[in-house]
A and B are shown apart, each in its own frame.
Chain A
Amino acid sequence: MAAQVMGGPLVQVRDLVKTFAGRGTVLRKSKSQVQAVAGVSFDVLAGETLSIVGESGCGKSTTARCVTRILKPTSGSVVLFGTEISQSSQETIRPLRRQFQMVFQDPYASLNSTMTVEEIISEPLIVHGFPALEIKERVLAVVQQMHLHKSDLTRFPHQFSGGQRQRIGIARAVVMQPKFVVLDEPVSALDVSIQADIIQMLEGLQESLGLAFLMIAHDLSVVRHVSDRVAVMYLGKIVEIGTNKQIYEQSSHPYTQALLAAAPIPDPRVERARQRIILKGDVPSPANPPSGCRFRTRCFKVQDICSQVEPLLIDPGVGHQVACHFPEEINLITKRRV
C-alpha cells in the first residue's frame, strides 16, 4: 500500500475543533462543554491508509464524522478534493459525496434491516441517478469482489453473520467507486478469524481502486498491518503522527510508547520478555482536560513545564511529529524470535 504523492493531499484537515454541549451529571448539573476534538490537523494522500489510534473517548469517531460532514465542525478547516467543506450546507456537499464514503463499526446497526442486500448496495447509485443497467452491473461486480453470492442479493441483513454484514457495508461504500473511504473500527466487532478476511478484502479494494482510507481503530496490531501512516490521539489532540515505521519502531511520545508496550503480542516468550510501561490512573474527562500537556497526569516523564506549557506539533504535513517536551525515540517492539 504505497502512498503516491501527486498533486497535493486528497484530504486536508487543519485545526479541527468539535465541541459538544456537555451532558451534565447528577452531581454537577451545570452543563460543561466537551471539546471532543481540540485542534487536529492531518493530511490524507491519494491511495494511502492513514489510521487514527487512541483510547476510547479520545475523539477518533468525532474526527471521522467531521471529515465526512456527518457532523458540522465547530471550527477549523476540512478540504476534500480541493473543496473546503467544513461549514458548507449538505446541498453543496452532495455532489462530492460520490467520492467519499464511510463504513461504521457495528455491522448490525448500520444496515437498514427492512431492505434487501441488493437494495442496500444499490441505494447510493440510485440516489445519484445511475442508469438501471449500470446499477445491476456495478452491484454484481462489487458483490463478487466482496466474496458474497449473487443469491445473497435477495436476502436481508439479519440473515447474515457479522463478517458478512460488514462485507455488505463495505460493498455499499465502494460501489460508487469513491476515492476516499473513512472506516470507523471496521473490524472491531468481529472475531479474529473474520477480521483477517475483511482486512484482506480492504487491502484488495485499495489496490484495485486506488482508494485512500482514513481508518479509525484501537487494535494496534491491525493498524500496523494496514497503515502507511498513523496518528495517535489523546484527549482530543494528535500527540504523535508519522509513518508506520516511525510510529512502531521509532515512537517518541510517552503515550505512544505506553500504548505499544501495553498491546499484547500473541507469542508467550516474546510477550513475557517485553519491557512494560504501566500507566497510572485513567484518562481525565474531556470536559476538564489538564493544563499544558493533556497527557501529563499519566505521564512517566512529566516535569514542571508540562503543566504550564502545551507541547505542540510543529508542522502539520506528512513528517514525523511529536507533541512532547521530552521526546525520546524508543523501539518497544522486541524483534521477533528468528
Chain B
Amino acid sequence: MNSLLSIKDLHVSFGLGLETVDAVRGINLEIARGEIVGIVGESGSGKSASMLSVMRLLATTATTRGTVHFAGKELFSASSKEMRGIRGGKIGMIFQDPMTSLNPSFRIGSQIAEAIIRHQHVSTKIAVSKATDLLEVVSIPRPSESMSLFPHEMSGGMKQRVMIAMAIANDPELLIADEPTTALDVTIQAQILEVLKGLRETRNLSIVIITHDLGVVAGLADSVNVMYAGEIVESGDVEGVFYKATHPYSRGLLSCVPRLDIRESALHPIGGDPPKLSEKTPGCSFQPRCKNAIDLCETTSPTLRSSTVTGLKVSCHNPMEPSPQMSESI
C-alpha cells in the first residue's frame, strides 16, 4: 500500500437539535505521494466536512466513523498531542475562510515564524529567515518588508498566499486546500494555481483541492472525486471523469456550466434542489433529480463500483452511456 492518505468508510454526522445531519456518508479516498486530487460537488455536499474530519477539526457536535491512515498512522485513534504535531506539520491546510487561520492582531511574518518554531524547534532567527524564504516561494513581492505587514494591510490574493506559506511552512507531505482561490479574481487565481503546481513539482507535495470550479480541477488535478449529498458518486483520473463520466449527476454538472470557448451551446440545468441531509431516504440520493432513474433507484441505494466500460468508479444503478461528444479526442 503506497497511499499517503487512505480514508475508509468515513461518516460524519452533526447533531442539530433533534435532527441529525448526515453530512458525509461512507466515503473512501486514496491519495498517492505527489498526487493532486480534486473534490468537486455542490454546496453542502460534504467536501469541507470530510477533510476537516481528517484533521480532526470538526465542531464538537460532530460524530465521526471510519478510519483515516496518514503515512501508515491511523488518525482517529491518535492522541491529541500527536494530532497537534501532524496538523500544520506533516499535513498543511488552507481553509475556506482565510480569517480562521490568520490572526488579525499579529504581523504575518511573526505568525509564519511562530508556526515554524512550534513544529521545528529552531531559533527565532532561523524561523524568520525561513519565513522570509516562504514568502518568496509564494511570490509575495519584497518578502522581507512584507514580513511586517498585518493581515488587514494585504489584499485578498496576498492573504491567500500568506495562508499557503503558513500551510507549507513545515514542509508537509500533504496539503489540503479548501476552495483556495474561490474568493479571488481570475488573474490572481491563476497566480495561486501556478504556486500550487510549482509546489507539487519541487516538493512532490500531495494536494487535495476542494473546489466548485470544474475548470480549476481540469487544469490542476490528476484525479477527481465528484461528491453528491455526502457520497462520492463518481471518481477516477481527470480525463476519465471529464470525458467519460456516466453518473447522471457528474454528467449534469459537466453540461450545466457555460464554457469560455463555446458560445452557442445551450445550458442544461440539472433542475430541482439537493436533498435535505437530515432526511434519510432508502434509495439513491440523486433519484428525485435524476432523468435516468429506474424503479430500483427509489428503493435501494447504489454503491460505488468500478465500471468496466469507463475505468471509473461510479455509484449508480443505471449509468448513462459515455458521451461520444465528450470522449471524442481520446
Contact = CB atoms under 8 A, between A and B. Distances in A.
Nearest to A190: B43
A196 B218 contact: no
B218 A279 contact: no
Contacts of A314: none
Nearest to B252: A193
Given A192-B253, A218-B186, A248 B328 contact: no
Contacts of B308: none
Contacts of A245: 263
Nearest to A56: B185
A221 B273 contact: no
B117 interface: no
A221 B258 contact: yes
A25 B239 CA distance: 48
Nearest to B190: A262
A271 B215 contact: yes
Interface residues of B, number: 48
Contact of B187 (A55, A163, A264, A265): A55
A94 interface: no
A25 B256 CA distance: 43
A334 B253 contact: no
Given A199-B258, A264-B216, A266-B215, A224 B186 contact: no
A191 B212 contact: yes
A27 B217 CA distance: 40
A338 B252 CA distance: 21
A87 interface: no
Nearest to A147: B271
A337 B328 contact: yes
B305 interface: no
Given A191-B212, A196-B257, A197-B271, A282 B158 contact: yes
Contacts of A27: 153
Interface string B228-261: 0000000000110011000000001110111111
13 contacts: A161-B273, A193-B253, A196-B270, A224-B260, A259-B187, A263-B260, A264-B216, A265-B215, A265-B218, A267-B242, A267-B259, A268-B242, A337-B329
Given A225-B265, A268-B219, 10 more contacts: A191-B43, A191-B212, A193-B252, A200-B269, A221-B257, A264-B219, A266-B259, A269-B329, A279-B190, A298-B187
Interface of A: 25, 27, 55-56, 161, 163-164, 191-197, 199-200, 218, 220-222, 224-225, 244-245, 248, 258-272, 276, 278-279, 281-283, 298, 333-338
